Amino acid sequence: MANPFRQAMQQLEHAAGYIQLHPDILERLKKPMREMQAAIPVRMDDGALHVFSGYRVQYDNSRGPFKGGIRFHPKTNPDEVRALAFWMTMKCATVGIPYGGGKGGVTVDPKKLSQRELEMLSRGWVRAMRDMVGVDTDIPAPDVYTNPKVMGWMMDEYEQLVGHHEPGMITGKPISIGGSAGRGTATAQGGIYVTEQLLKKLNIQRPRIIVQGFGNAGAVYASLAAEHGWRVVGVSDSKGALYNEKGLDVELLAKHKLQTGSVAGFFTGAAKTMTNEKLLLQPCDLLVPAALEGVLTSINAGRVKARAVVELANGPTTPEADEKLFKKGVVVVPDILANAGGVTVSYFEWVQNRMGYYWAEQEVFDRLRPMMIQAFTDVWNQSKKYSCDMRTGAYIHSLARIAEAMQDRGRI
Ligand code: NAD
């Protein structure tokens, strides 16, 4: 698989080539400000000691505290976390929330851990990173294979260490301990707001959609899409893929996933099973990658049949694939815009924690919607102004904000 940090740096250089970006800013953005790799020992249920590798990358904080999720995945490595931290920096600037970017992770297959082992690992990550994280310094959140329960353990561990309540040190928490209404569905909901704008631009009424990855981002997006009357024709998860050109029953599919742990094995009508790779190449209007990075590459991008790609996942498209898709006229709505609803509602959660005053779900979405529409419009307009793809348009837009903050701080 392509190196995601190299991919991120190629995107940065490409966008910088369109504007008069100060060379000092480019130099600063090529390296994270601070990185931590820590050994996290966990006593396993069988009595053996296992030492996991944990990471936190603090990429840039010119616009505010570092902000970004924690990923638990067997393939997580420093370059992946570095790339994700860079993308968070760009994402927060794209939607205009007052944060820099960071990311964390642990190299682990959480599906192989018991609940007790998972809790020990989550608490261990916080003990290792306690000097880095905090409400005004660096605020983690969930990412792949972490969830509100993990955030709850992490907040509890942190508060025990510092000796006072500080719910704003982490977001994506359960609502009972300071989470925000709407945070669980925010990434997908933000993606839907962006998709509505895209469909207007492309003049598509009732899109056929393929969603790769049926987790927090993908499954919720699929179900909101179905509620809109859009046709979800394909889905996949790590165990397999399904396609039915007439549309899949997303509600039944979600129940099946809950019962069996996978979408694979769900049969209705003419649904066909296939590999994950093949699913990406089936006919549809919108292809929505919502799993991991590097899935659209120079090898398959030329055969994508979608009219547009909406990147709910971070980094699913390599720069070579971007170029091919742009030449083919396939619009790619980039990750730093399409999935920014999650971090935007994380920002709302942090604001509510600091006020100690909580909003109803409707208020959360009433605030999210205009921010996503504004960000879409800004990015779309930049891409038209510079005759470039939307990713480059988003980078141009966010780099201007980051550059202004760096200059106003006198960092360059
Ligand atoms: P998740 O753990 O809830 O779900 C991930 C899903 O991807 C699972 O269904 C898994 O089975 C599937 N998957 C794994 N490997 C796959 C493969 N090779 N092919 C197809 N499916 C595969 O994770 P999530 O939180 O939904 O995150 C998914 C993506 O969205 C990530 O790139 C993440 O960084 C991004 N994202 C998530 C959020 C959020 O708030 N959760 C916010 C912004 C971006």
Coil vs helix vs strand at 32: coil
Cβ of residue 72 lying under 6 Å from some atom of ligand 1: no
Domain boundaries, the chain: 34-168, 186-338
Q: In the chain, what is the straight-line distance between the N-terminal and C-terminal CA atoms, in Å?
A: 35
Give the Cα separation of 228 and 49 in Å (integer).
50
Q: What is the mean pLDDT of residues 53-71?
A: 98
**Residues forming a β-bridge with 72:** 106
Cβ of residue 216 lying under 6 Å from some atom of ligand 1: yes
pTM of the model: 0.96
Residue 352 in contact with residue 43, Cβ under 8 Å? no
Q: Which residues are catalytic?
A: 103
Give the Cα separation of 289 and 377 in Å (integer).
22
Asked if domains 34-168 and 186-338 share a fold, the reply is yes
CB atoms within 10 A of CB 304: 22
Rg value, the chain, Cα: 20
Ligand 1, atom nearest to 340 Cα:
43
Cβ of residue 81 lying under 6 Å from some atom of ligand 1: no
**Tokens matching residue 96:** 């205009």
Q: What is the mean pLDDT of residues 64-91?
A: 98
Ligand 1, atom nearest to 218 Cα:
26
Residue 330: alpha-carbon gap to chain centroid: 21
Residue 188 in contact with residue 342, Cβ under 8 Å? no
Residue whose CA lies nearest to ligand 1 atom number 28: 291
Tens digits of residue pLDDT in 358-407: 999 999 999 999 999 999 999 999 999 999 999 999 999 999 999 999 99
Ligand 1, atom nearest to 172 Cα:
40
What's the DSSP call for residue 134? Answer: B
Ligand 1, atom nearest to 312 Cα:
30
CA of 313 to the centre of ligand 1 (A): 6
Task: Name the architecture of domain 34-168.
Answer: 3-Layer(aba) Sandwich (3.40)
pLDDT of 2 > 80? The answer is no
Cβ of residue 184 lying under 6 Å from some atom of ligand 1: no
Is 186-338 a CATH 3.40.50.720 domain? yes
Q: Which of 70, 90, 216 to mutate for ligand 1's pocket (most ligand atoms within 8 Å of CB)?
A: 216
Supply the mean pLDDT for the chain.
96
Q: Which of 76, 144, 242 to mutate for ligand 1's pocket (most ligand atoms within 8 Å of CB)?
A: 144
Residue whose CA lies nearest to ligand 1 atom number 16: 238
Tens digits of residue pLDDT in 96-119: 999 999 999 999 999 999 999 999
Q: What is the mean pLDDT of residues 82-86?
A: 98
Cβ of residue 195 lying under 6 Å from some atom of ligand 1: no
Cβ of residue 276 lying under 6 Å from some atom of ligand 1: yes
